[in-house]
Amino acid sequence: MRFFVALEIPSENIAEFQSIQYRLHTLIPQAKLTNVDKIHLTLAFVGEQDEGLKENLITVITSSTNDIPTFEVTPAYIDGFPQIHHPEVLWVGVKGDIDKIHIIRERIKDDLQALRLPVDERRFVPHISVAKLNHSFQIDRNLEVRLEEMMQSNFTPIQITSIKLFESVPEGGLHTHNTLAEIKLI
C-alpha cells in the first residue's frame, strides 16, 4: 500500500480553493489543477509499504496528536516548488496555528524513524498543492505580482479537527485517495 498522513481540507473550505484554482487557471491556462477532492496538507509521505504497517501508522498518528487540541490555519500566500519562478507545483501556504502542524510533523517523523522508515529531511513548509506545471514553465515578476494579488482575499479559517491516514491508489495514470483511519484531535 502507498501510505501518506495528511490534514484533509473540510468541505466547507473547498469552494475557496476552487476559487483560487479558477483565478490561477485564468492567469496560467496551462496549469494542471489538482482535483478538489484530493486537496490536502501532507504531513508525511510514507510511500509503498506492506499493508501490515497500517496499525503501526495509526499508532504513530495517535501518539503524534497526543495533547494537541483542534486548531485553525488560513490560506495566506501562493508559492511554488522547487521555487516560484520555475515551479513544477504551485501551492497555497497557510498562516495561523502552524506551530501545531510542525509539532505533529516532527513527532510523526521521529516515530517513523523509530520504525526504520525513510523520512523526508527537507525543510517542511505547511502547504496545499493546487496545480502542476510543465518543468520549463517560468513565472516572471509581473505574473508573480498578479498571483500575490490573487491571494489578497480574506479566506475562511480551516478548522483542523483530525489527522488522517490515507492510501494512494494508482488508477490509469492518476491516483485516488482512500481514508484508512481518522484520528480526532482533543
Q: Does 102 qualify as catalytic in the annotation? A: no
Q: Give 27-31's long-range contacts (Cβ < 8 A, gap of 24+).
A: 27/143, 27/146, 27/147, 27/150, 28/90, 28/131, 28/133, 28/137, 28/143, 30/133, 30/134, 30/137, 31/90, 31/131, 31/132, 31/133
Q: Give 124-127's long-range contacts (Cβ < 8 A, gap of 24+).
A: 125/79, 125/93, 126/41, 126/73, 126/93, 126/94, 126/98, 126/101, 126/102, 127/41, 127/79, 127/91, 127/92, 127/93, 127/94
Active site residue: 85, 86, 127, 135, which one?
Answer: 127
- Which residues pair with residue 159 across a beta bridge? 72
Q: Does 40 qualify as catalytic in the annotation? A: yes
Active site residue: 40, 102, 135, 177, which one?
Answer: 40
Among all residues, which ones are annotated catalytic? 40, 127
